Structure 1
Amino acid sequence: MTPADVMSYVLQVAIAKQCTVDSFPVQANFITERYLGKWYEIKWFSDNYLPTDVLYQDFSNVFTQQSDGNISISTTGRTNIVKESVLGRLLDYWIVSTDYVNYAVAYMCFEENADGTCGKAESWILSRHSYLADDKLAKVNLQIEQLCLNTTLFLTTYRTNGCSADPSSVVG
């Protein structure tokens, strides 16, 4: 083994340790009530193959708190899902970062590898509006990199219905 091989191995081990699922951040002091409301999907990533006819357009989620404390997620084009909120994690759906009024980064690991890295992940860049300003997208991309995901692999969710930036969609 050459010195370059040893250095490469050490670097790979260091990167793998930083990319373990349990080291990923979640939103500190997550406030469920401020997160509630409508979120537009701006970009998304999936390790699972999806045929092109499944690519989403005009995709959004509406998060509503039920009387029992559970969170109902109404998703355009999908069946409603009920999840509970726990400190920035909506069960398997993690809120990695949000400012509650402009952007949110969500993450889900479906399959954790033996070394603690994620084998199959999905992640979403969400906005309270049908667009996300470049300065906010730059901030979001830094959060994505902390999840050991390549921002260039995120797919854009296209808008065909002229979604408005309705201020009433913001609860928090």
Structure 2
Amino acid sequence: MIAQRYSYLSWLPLLLVSSSHPQWPSSWRCIPQPARSSVPCYCSGRQTWAGSLCGTLRIPGKRKRNEIMLRYVVALSLLALSWAQDCQVANINVMQNFDKTRYAGTWYAVGKKDPEGLFLLDNIVAQINIEEDGKMTATAQGRVIILNNWEMCAHMFATFEETADPAKFKMKYWGAASYLQTGNDDHWVIDTDYDNYAVHYSCRLVDADGTCLDGYSFIFSRHPTGLRPEDQLVVLQKKTDLCLLGKYRRVAHTGFCESGTSLDPQ
């Protein structure tokens, strides 16, 4: 424990000193000194420079110290990983040996990293189709808010142009209503097991350093209730690989688009 006026970081220097001497007892205390004193703090007969740390300070037990040090190590490891991570769009890995036929069918968006502009908010359901000529198309619906908080269920359409990489498409999309967004974005399938989950990614604008300046991503599930526990760790790793960890929001499915309030196709 520690006096309320001290934070964990306040006694980190003493913690580092004491952790190198595990034989020192957990009841080790600093001899009280004037608050914010800049004199040495004498502890159990040993002198350690504590500066403003002198005062009512008690060093935690060995087990607690080890737990705290482990947290620092994990935090520093994650920080080092983020520094070393390659976030350039050109180096993003996509699904190997992608099979668009197995990808077809109904997908429920359960997570979403938003782009700029008006976009589907929630209750997002996509239907991927393979046409007779082998081309992939899609329809989607989801809740949008337009015209001063008017909630509607919007319908979207898309066609996909294949590229040299089977998992990378150019997706031309448009809405049933003229004020819905239109575009011609990348549609990359980062990972999928076809039966349970899929991770989609699109970068609309690449920055000068090669990273994505404006992009979006969907986490899809075959089940409206969300991802299975065994799929969550896989998806978490893919979010990290995309440099988007912590930027997704949950997509709810409340049956809004079945309520009859929709922007029907013209």
TM-score w.r.t. the length of structure 2 is 0.51
Mapped to 1, the partners of 2:254 and 2:99 lie a distance apart of: 32
Partner of 2:168: 89
Provide the aligned C-alpha RMSD in A.
2.4
Alpha-carbon displacement from aligned partner over 1:95-138 (angstroms, at most 9, x marks no partner): 00000000000000000112111111100100111121122122
Deviation at 1:47, TM superposition (A): 4.0
Partner of 1:115: 209
Q: Is the 8 A contact 1:69 1:84 kept in 2?
A: no
Distance 1:55 1:71, change over 3 A: closer
Partner of 1:170: none
Mapped to 2, the partners of 1:88 and 1:80 lie a distance apart of: 20
Partner of 2:3: none
Mapped to 2, the partners of 1:146 and 1:78 lie a distance apart of: 31
Partner of 2:124: 59
2:155 to 78, 85, 98: 78
Deviation at 1:84, TM superposition (A): 2.5
Whether 1:43 and 2:137 are equivalent positions in the alignment is no
Q: Which runs of 5+ in 2 are unaligned?
A: 1-80, 142-153, 171-185, 258-266
Partner of 1:23: 91
After TM superposition, what 4+ stretches of structure 1 lie above 4 angstroms from structure 2?
11-14
Distance 1:156 1:70, change over 3 A: same
2:239 to 139, 144, 154: 144
Deviation at 1:57, TM superposition (A): 2.8
TM-score w.r.t. the length of structure 1 is 0.77
Mapped to 1, the partners of 2:212 and 2:82 lie a distance apart of: 15
Partner of 1:69: 134
Q: Which runs of 5+ in 1 are unaligned?
A: 1-10, 164-172
Bigger RCO of structures 1 and 2 (CA < 8 A, at least 6 apart):
1
